[in-house]
A and B are shown apart, each in its own frame.
Chain A
Amino acid sequence: MSELTFHVFVGATGDEPRAAAQASQAALPDAGTAVLMFVDPPARALEIVTGPDAHQLLDDSACSLVALSMQTAFVAGDLAGGIIHGLYQLGEHARRPESLHTAGR
């Protein structure tokens, strides 16, 4: 379990999707461990925002890969499918590394 919380917002936000996404993510009750997927269809914008703690597990490179995958689906018109697969991929990237030297003790 990554102990991260994933939130998805889909809707029109305005001219600055990134700023709106970060403000919304910061307003979440568990902002430190929250991962917000922010989709603005009118602006054709996708933002993935990770809190300070979530960023320890989910770095920007992983988020970029997920964003690229979602973007591919969105370009094809598959909004829901892109979000679902993006969530799956974020969850897969957010796994804590297993400490083998402490296993079984």
Chain B
Amino acid sequence: MKVVDLDVTPLRELNQMLHDQHSRVDVAAWRIVNPRGRHGIAAGLDAALTVEIDGHVGYYCAGMNKQATVTIDGSAGTGVAENMMSGRVHVKGDASQSAAATGCGGLLIIDGNASARCGISNRGIDIVVKGSVGHMSAFMAQAGTLVVLGDAGDALGDSIYEARLFVRGNVKTLGADCIEKPLQDIHKQHLRALLDAAGVGGEVDANEFKRFGSARQLYNFKIDNLEAYG
């Protein structure tokens, strides 16, 4: 495992070293110490790396991630895993606003709470938040999944397209065109798979969740295009 101390190594140098692994992986395991809230740590990765970050990170950590597994042993600032394509990002603390914004794929796990706009404009990423999420979460979400073990704030799923939302606790209010839908076996299976992937399948019962999704009244939904909506 290669250890990089951000008190010694400039952040750009670290990110360049990680990006140098894209064409050929020489070092697969990385540990980053003293992040001290810096922005853009481990952003833009595109290789099967494991990156452990020991402490709190700033904005856009692991943004645009492809393939890599990034673990943050602390809390994350705005836009963690934004626009993630694939791979896995695990925040052991809390996440600030717009976590996984516009994410296309992969899995984001947040052990603590996520603040406002979690999973905004989701385009296919799966998000599991073990705590609660703030207001306007899943705003304009188009695909993917948001699983919340705690509560959801105001206007959950406002202007939602076809993303799937599962909340175990209370939802303060639902946003425009977001409605509760029946939790069927197919949804429970999907939910269980995500709970397993987040490491809580054994302790959390999928039956305790409510499912929310689009009423399909607000956007120009065409049943002929259903396949394309995912």
Answer yes or no: do A and B interact.
no
Partner-A contacts on B (CB < 8 A)? none
